[in-house]
Amino acid sequence: MSELKGRKLVLGVTGGVAAYKAAELVRLLGKAGADVHVVLTEGGARFVTAVTFQALSGNRVWTDLWDPRMDNNMAHIDLTRDADAILISPATADVMAKLAHGLADDLLTTLCLARDCPLLVAPAMNRQMWEHLATQRNVAQLSADGVTLFGPAAGEQACGEVGLGRMLEPEDLCEAVIGFFQPRLLAGRRVVMTAGPTFEAIDPVRGITNSSSGKMAYGLARACAQAGAEVTLVSGPVALPVPAGVRRVSVRSALEMREAVFAALPGADVFIGVAAVADYRPATSAEHKIKKSGAELSITLTPNPDILADVANLPKPPFCVGFAAESRDLDEYAEGKRKAKKLPLIVGNLVQDGLGGDDNLVVLYDDAGRHPLPRAPKPDLARAIVAHLAGLLPEV
């Protein structure tokens, strides 16, 4: 993963118990390609040492406003001049108060005051500190000043209490930082998507399904959310985490998927049918497990509904995007499917090029023609598809 390649981030670590999470955050940001420079406050150093952050980031760690290692002795100026963002994680109530009121009494708060790059803040504190009127005033002031807040989350806290105030987990914060740098191409849009396979039961333990992993759909849901859309993902059975900012509705069969789609559809601007929906299902499903007898077994199949076609045929359909996974003659079959279902956009690929894998080779088909995309990891393809889709949508 190199979604932050070329990005320089200054990470401020302050004196909260959640500072231990910052070590993993540095590792994840570095894995995503970011060049991370840690500024450690005196309080933060009581929880995690500078040695840890230097080892994980590969860069010197800054702790002192008067640190002479910078040639001009102005770390508070030079550290942020070529930075893409400052991220403070964890951000204590004390540091947030200083930021809100423009106080600068250490290296971190001074460089925040002298910055010319975005400031991102991940709050971490006891629930009562978070709910205090003074903290909420500071949060409002920071938001009004253009500071981006990530979290906090709700849950069990180090003090033993439960509520809002937990710092987001490192994985979620890394996702939030990646999303911060994405163009908001779908801001204000509602997107409904389908994902994964469906499972059509023969009996309580057997069924008809396929090898769809759901990776392309989940990557696309993530890209839509990072582009600013409100995303509902109607998903068949897959073993994938829900992308940040995405609402998942879990289903098994094609009939369940259709019902969930139409329940989520009112007010949607875009519908994307990525799921590999089974074309057929058993006409009847046995109540109990069918015992092996050695005799031939016949199963009568009945067609499943075509969810994408049903959505596209609504009197006022959303912008519909289809997927065509073929084993041959991609141009013929994908374009034929697009025209037959009256879709403005379809994404086609050969199954041998990426079904179930981590990368893919796809071609986009719309009214303007054929648009091949270079082979790429599925997250990169998802962003390219979102960019193309956004260019076709009517203005809001």
pLDDT at 160: 74
Domain boundary among 180, 213, 238: 180
Is residue 1 in a domain? no
16: containing domain: 8-180
Asked if 214 and 143 sit in the same domain, the reply is: no
Domain boundary among 150, 180, 210: 180
CA 22 to CA 11: how far, in whole Å? 9
Domain boundary among 124, 154, 180: 180
Asked if 172 and 211 sit in the same domain, the reply is: no
pLDDT digits (tens, 9 = 90+) for 51-74: 999 999 999 998 887 776 766 656
Asked if 249 and 387 sit in the same domain, the reply is: yes
Amino acid letter, residue 202? I
pLDDT at 1: 58
pLDDT at 344: 94
pLDDT above 90 as % of the chain:
65
CATH of the domain at 318: 3.40.50.10300
Is residue 170 in a domain? yes
Confidence of residue 118 (pLDDT cuts 50, 70, 90): very high
Is residue 234 in a domain? yes
pLDDT average, residue stretch 68-86: 74
Segment among 54-58, 244-248, 347-351 with least mean pLDDT = 347-351
Asked if 124 and 156 sit in the same domain, the reply is: yes
Is residue 128 in a domain? yes
- Name the strand (E) or helix (H) holding 121: strand 119-123
Asked if 241 and 172 sit in the same domain, the reply is: no
CA 265 to CA 260: how far, in whole Å? 9
pLDDT at 248: 96
Q: Are 158 and 17 in contact (CB under 8 A)?
A: yes
pLDDT at 270 over 90: yes
Computed over every residue of the chain, the mean pLDDT equals: 90
pLDDT average, residue stretch 127-137: 92
Catalytic residues: 159
Asked if 300 and 252 sit in the same domain, the reply is: yes
pLDDT at 153: 80
DSSP 96-115: HHHHHHT---SHHHHHHHT-
Asked if 241 and 360 sit in the same domain, the reply is: yes
Neighbours of 329 (CB within 10 A): 10
pTM of the model: 0.83
pLDDT at 353: 64
Is residue 161 in a domain? yes
DSSP code of residue 203: S
Is residue 2 in a domain? no
pLDDT average, residue stretch 203-225: 90
pLDDT at 72: 60
pLDDT at 171 over 90: yes
pLDDT at 373 over 70: yes
